Structure 1
Amino acid sequence: MRMGLAANALHHDHDDAALFRWLRACGQGIRELDLHLHAVGRTHAAIERSDCLASYSGLLRYPYGREGGLMKLVAEVVGMHAPQRTLDGAIYLIDPVDPSSIFPEAVALKRQCVIHQKPFISTVASARDWVEMERLQAGLAPDPGANELHALEQQTIALIAHDAMKPQMMAYAADHFDVLARFARRVATGTTGQQLNELAWSRGWPQGENWVERYQSGPMGGDAQIADLVLERRCQRAIFFEDPHVARQHEADIQLLERAVTTVTDDAVCMTSPRVAARWADAARKRAAQL
């Protein structure tokens, strides 16, 4: 498995920066999975200077950002002719106030991951969650260090879908209703929330009792309301099915939610495609069955 890796300067400029917190928490899992990390220049240099991943042959150096390193990751997410130059996704630990996080290559990296249904991982919590998911899918025993992260019964999950993706969200909720029902609380923006409640009622949830707490529709500020929950650490997970092909009038609100997730990088997990979310739900079942 091959993943692109980049981190904004804030996340690797001191010993307890986000990049190193992730590597210390998941170093063993990275080695167990034989995960190849295609790391952009400064990120690679920072890992080399640290004691994280010492002597690990799966750490590969890419050019610095100014030399096109992030652009190369975008091309390899799309897929190159050589198998060793096709990435399975990208880990990009984002500093929400770093201007480089909205450079074209950074935006394109996420967009191509969404289009090609590959994981785009932008927070420490998401990166830890993804490693544990892949460990479980590989048949490995649950990591006790990830127990708190996977205590779904104590968490709130946001379920958000753009208009073109609402059918995929309803299909996802129907297929993985048992996993979503484990959460202490579910929240959603307007129309998505209503459709999810109707699905729950059809599954036997008490009529008139909301399975999902509805906020405003996205264009009317629902994304901003949920962003506030994330910032207050009252929403730990978001499944956000994005339509990368359509311009949205409330794009700023969508970006606000994404920036909120990256602001609380150790506490918020975000998944942006049905394929990745389905793989996570399957892993969550396996983990619960083994504990």
Structure 2
Amino acid sequence: MHIALIAHDKKKDDMVRFVTAYKDLLGKHHLYATGTTGKRLIEETQLPIHRFKSGPLGGDQQIGAYVSENKLDIVIFLRDPLTSQPHEPDISALMRLSDVYNIPLATNLGTAEMILQGVEAGHLEWRDIQREKGILNKDYRKYDV
């Protein structure tokens, strides 16, 4: 699986604790993260993580591009719903793209844990099967996104 990890500033400690708790499971997959989140995760877990730019500098858009190309299977985005974000349109676009391309998206720890439990149980293998059959490469341009 290809898993993106994103956390707003006030959620970065939660993300570090979460990834540490699921380090063995996450270590079996390809991990991606926005800039500062990725840096902290690499430093504190030693997991190999592909880092994009920081969210406000385009990292959310880079992850969105990966979603639109079906290069990601899961997005875990620990958002801070109580703090205004200057790049809110990018965040909304990423969430919309996850819906368009049927990418499981967790925006809180409870949902993130459920998704990883599903990965561990094999419930997301449909993404691998669809990728092998080329189903994930559908042309979604006909939808008004």
Change (3 A) 1:257 1:182: same
Structure 2 segments unaligned to the other structure (5+ residues): 123-145
Task: Specify the SS of the correspondent of 2:14.
Answer: helix
User: Which of 156, 167, 172 matches 2:18?
Assistant: 172
Pair 1:269-2:110 in alignment: no
Deviation of 1:283 (Å): 4.5
Distance in 1, matches of 2:100 and 2:117, equals 28
Give the aligned residue type for 1:217.
S
Deviation of 1:279 (Å): 3.3
Change (3 A) 1:232 1:176: same
Structure showing greater radius of gyration is: 1
**Partner of 1:190 in structure 2?**
35
Distance in 1, matches of 2:24 and 2:116, equals 9
Greater RCO, CA 8 A, separation 6+: 2
Percent sequence identity over aligned pairs: 34
CA offset digits 1:207-237 (Å, max 9, x no partner): xxxx110000011000000100000001111
Aligned length: 122
Distance in 2, matches of 1:279 and 1:236, equals 15
CA offset digits 1:40-69 (Å, max 9, x no partner): xxxxxxxxxxxxxxxxxxxxxxxxxxxxxx
CA offset digits 1:95-123 (Å, max 9, x no partner): xxxxxxxxxxxxxxxxxxxxxxxxxxxxx
**Partner of 2:79 in structure 1?**
242
Deviation of 1:254 (Å): 0.7
Deviation of 1:281 (Å): 2.8
TM-score by length of 1: 0.40
Q: Equivalent residues in 2 for 1:193-272 (5 A)? A: 193-201=38-46, 211-265=48-102, 268-272=103-107
TM-score by length of 2: 0.78
Change (3 A) 1:282 1:197: same
Structure 1 segments unaligned to the other structure (5+ residues): 1-154, 206-210
**Partner of 1:158 in structure 2?**
4
Following TM superposition, the consecutive aligned residue runs of length 4 or more in structure 1 with deviations greater than 4 angstroms are none
Distance in 2, matches of 1:167 and 1:235, equals 23
Give the aligned residue type for 1:195.
R
Deviation of 1:178 (Å): 1.2
Distance in 2, matches of 1:192 and 1:228, equals 18
